[in-house]
Amino acid sequence: MKIRTNKFQKGFTIIEVMIVLAIAGVIIAAVLIAVPQLQKNQRNSSRRAILGRVKTEIDNYIGNNNGTVPSSNAFASSNNCSSATPGTFVTKYLNPTSSFTDPNGSAVSYCVWSAAGNLPANASGSTAAAVMYAAGHICSGESLDTTGTSRQYAVAIGLEGGATYCLDNQ
Protein backbone atom coordinates (compact mmCIF):
# COMPACT_ATOMS: atom_id res chain seq x y z
CA MET A 1 0.00 0.00 0.00
CA LYS A 2 1.23 3.39 -0.98
CA ILE A 3 1.21 6.26 1.48
CA ARG A 4 0.51 9.60 -0.02
CA THR A 5 2.27 12.60 1.35
CA ASN A 6 1.20 16.08 0.46
CA LYS A 7 4.36 18.07 -0.17
CA PHE A 8 2.54 21.26 -1.12
CA GLN A 9 1.79 23.69 1.69
CA LYS A 10 -0.44 26.70 1.32
CA GLY A 11 0.76 30.22 2.29
CA PHE A 12 3.82 32.40 1.95
CA THR A 13 7.21 32.01 3.52
CA ILE A 14 8.55 34.68 5.83
CA ILE A 15 11.13 35.70 3.24
CA GLU A 16 8.47 36.27 0.59
CA VAL A 17 6.46 38.45 2.97
CA MET A 18 9.54 40.45 3.93
CA ILE A 19 10.43 41.05 0.27
CA VAL A 20 6.93 42.36 -0.43
CA LEU A 21 7.07 44.64 2.64
CA ALA A 22 10.50 45.95 1.63
CA ILE A 23 9.26 46.80 -1.87
CA ALA A 24 6.19 48.52 -0.42
CA GLY A 25 8.43 50.51 1.93
CA VAL A 26 10.60 51.71 -0.95
CA ILE A 27 7.52 52.79 -2.92
CA ILE A 28 6.06 54.67 0.07
CA ALA A 29 9.40 56.38 0.74
CA ALA A 30 9.65 57.48 -2.90
CA VAL A 31 6.14 58.93 -2.80
CA LEU A 32 6.77 60.75 0.49
CA ILE A 33 9.90 62.32 -0.96
CA ALA A 34 8.43 63.22 -4.37
CA VAL A 35 5.03 64.68 -3.41
CA PRO A 36 6.24 67.75 -1.45
CA GLN A 37 8.66 68.65 -4.26
CA LEU A 38 5.87 68.34 -6.84
CA GLN A 39 3.61 70.56 -4.73
CA LYS A 40 6.37 73.17 -4.36
CA ASN A 41 6.98 73.14 -8.12
CA GLN A 42 3.27 73.60 -8.76
CA ARG A 43 3.10 76.61 -6.40
CA ASN A 44 6.18 78.12 -8.06
CA SER A 45 4.59 77.60 -11.49
CA SER A 46 1.53 79.50 -10.27
CA ARG A 47 3.77 82.35 -9.12
CA ARG A 48 5.50 82.43 -12.52
CA ALA A 49 2.07 82.60 -14.18
CA ILE A 50 1.12 85.55 -11.94
CA LEU A 51 4.29 87.36 -12.99
CA GLY A 52 3.56 86.64 -16.66
CA ARG A 53 0.12 88.22 -16.29
CA VAL A 54 1.62 91.28 -14.56
CA LYS A 55 4.17 91.64 -17.37
CA THR A 56 1.36 91.47 -19.95
CA GLU A 57 -0.50 94.29 -18.19
CA ILE A 58 2.67 96.40 -18.02
CA ASP A 59 3.09 95.87 -21.77
CA ASN A 60 -0.55 96.95 -22.25
CA TYR A 61 0.18 100.10 -20.21
CA ILE A 62 3.24 100.83 -22.35
CA GLY A 63 1.16 100.42 -25.50
CA ASN A 64 -1.50 102.79 -24.17
CA ASN A 65 1.04 105.43 -23.07
CA ASN A 66 3.29 105.91 -26.11
CA GLY A 67 6.05 103.57 -24.93
CA THR A 68 6.35 105.00 -21.42
CA VAL A 69 6.81 102.45 -18.66
CA PRO A 70 4.91 102.91 -15.38
CA SER A 71 6.82 104.94 -12.82
CA SER A 72 7.84 103.27 -9.57
CA ASN A 73 5.25 105.35 -7.68
CA ALA A 74 2.54 104.22 -10.11
CA PHE A 75 3.38 100.62 -9.22
CA ALA A 76 3.70 100.77 -5.42
CA SER A 77 4.33 103.24 -2.62
CA SER A 78 7.57 101.75 -1.26
CA ASN A 79 10.11 98.98 -1.43
CA ASN A 80 8.74 97.26 1.69
CA CYS A 81 6.54 94.49 0.29
CA SER A 82 4.73 94.00 3.60
CA SER A 83 3.48 97.58 3.90
CA ALA A 84 3.55 99.10 0.40
CA THR A 85 0.20 100.19 -1.01
CA PRO A 86 -0.55 99.53 -4.67
CA GLY A 87 -0.09 102.50 -7.00
CA THR A 88 -2.38 103.79 -9.74
CA PHE A 89 -1.03 101.36 -12.34
CA VAL A 90 -1.77 98.39 -10.10
CA THR A 91 -5.28 99.55 -9.20
CA LYS A 92 -6.17 100.37 -12.82
CA TYR A 93 -4.54 97.50 -14.70
CA LEU A 94 -4.24 94.68 -12.17
CA ASN A 95 -7.29 95.13 -9.89
CA PRO A 96 -5.33 93.96 -6.82
CA THR A 97 -8.31 92.95 -4.70
CA SER A 98 -9.53 90.17 -6.97
CA SER A 99 -7.09 89.31 -9.76
CA PHE A 100 -4.10 87.73 -8.11
CA THR A 101 -4.00 85.28 -5.25
CA ASP A 102 -0.85 83.56 -4.08
CA PRO A 103 -0.94 79.74 -4.21
CA ASN A 104 -0.98 79.83 -0.40
CA GLY A 105 -4.31 81.72 -0.54
CA SER A 106 -3.11 85.23 0.36
CA ALA A 107 -3.45 88.33 -1.80
CA VAL A 108 -0.37 89.20 -3.83
CA SER A 109 1.54 92.26 -2.62
CA TYR A 110 3.31 94.82 -4.79
CA CYS A 111 6.51 96.76 -4.11
CA VAL A 112 9.30 98.67 -5.83
CA TRP A 113 12.62 96.97 -6.55
CA SER A 114 15.10 99.82 -6.65
CA ALA A 115 18.52 98.52 -5.63
CA ALA A 116 20.38 96.47 -8.21
CA GLY A 117 21.14 92.99 -6.97
CA ASN A 118 19.07 93.25 -3.80
CA LEU A 119 15.53 92.15 -3.08
CA PRO A 120 13.17 94.64 -1.44
CA ALA A 121 12.50 94.32 2.27
CA ASN A 122 10.27 91.33 3.10
CA ALA A 123 10.05 90.23 -0.55
CA SER A 124 11.05 86.62 -0.10
CA GLY A 125 10.19 86.12 3.54
CA SER A 126 6.54 87.14 3.38
CA THR A 127 3.76 84.58 3.45
CA ALA A 128 2.21 85.93 0.24
CA ALA A 129 3.87 86.34 -3.11
CA ALA A 130 5.35 89.80 -3.65
CA VAL A 131 5.54 91.20 -7.18
CA MET A 132 8.54 93.51 -7.41
CA TYR A 133 8.88 96.19 -10.10
CA ALA A 134 11.90 98.17 -11.27
CA ALA A 135 11.61 100.90 -13.92
CA GLY A 136 14.76 101.52 -15.94
CA HIS A 137 16.32 98.16 -15.12
CA ILE A 138 16.64 94.76 -16.76
CA CYS A 139 17.04 91.29 -15.30
CA SER A 140 20.42 89.77 -14.75
CA GLY A 141 19.59 86.23 -13.75
CA GLU A 142 17.74 86.53 -10.45
CA SER A 143 18.80 90.12 -9.78
CA LEU A 144 18.66 93.56 -11.39
CA ASP A 145 21.11 95.07 -13.80
CA THR A 146 21.45 98.86 -13.89
CA THR A 147 22.13 99.00 -17.63
CA GLY A 148 18.45 99.38 -18.53
CA THR A 149 17.05 102.42 -20.32
CA SER A 150 14.09 104.61 -19.39
CA ARG A 151 11.85 102.47 -21.61
CA GLN A 152 12.81 99.20 -19.95
CA TYR A 153 11.52 97.53 -16.81
CA ALA A 154 11.95 94.36 -14.80
CA VAL A 155 9.43 92.51 -12.66
CA ALA A 156 10.22 89.68 -10.29
CA ILE A 157 8.57 87.38 -7.80
CA GLY A 158 10.08 85.32 -5.02
CA LEU A 159 9.81 81.55 -5.28
CA GLU A 160 9.88 78.87 -2.62
CA GLY A 161 13.40 77.76 -1.91
CA GLY A 162 14.79 81.30 -2.00
CA ALA A 163 14.96 81.73 -5.79
CA THR A 164 13.68 84.79 -7.66
CA TYR A 165 11.94 84.68 -11.03
CA CYS A 166 12.65 87.82 -13.07
CA LEU A 167 11.16 89.02 -16.38
CA ASP A 168 11.96 92.17 -18.35
CA ASN A 169 11.08 93.76 -21.68
CA GLN A 170 14.59 93.57 -23.10
Q: CB 34: neighbour CB atoms within 10 A?
A: 10
How many angstroms separate the CA atoms of 55 and 58, rounded?
5
3-state SS of the chain: helix, strand, coil percent to 5?
35, 20, 45
Mean predicted confidence (pLDDT) in 99-123: 71
DSSP alpha helices (H): ranges in 77-155? Answer: 88-89
Q: CB 61: neighbour CB atoms within 10 A?
A: 19
Query: Would you say the pTM of this structure is higher than 0.85?
Result: no
Give the pLDDT confidence of 141-164 residue by residue, as tens digits.
877 777 778 889 999 888 888 888
Output the CA angle 78-46-106, nearest 5 degrees.
50
Domain ranges for the chain: 14-168
Give the pLDDT confidence of 50-96 residue by residue, as tens digits.
999 999 999 999 999 998 999 888 888 887 777 788 888 888 888 75
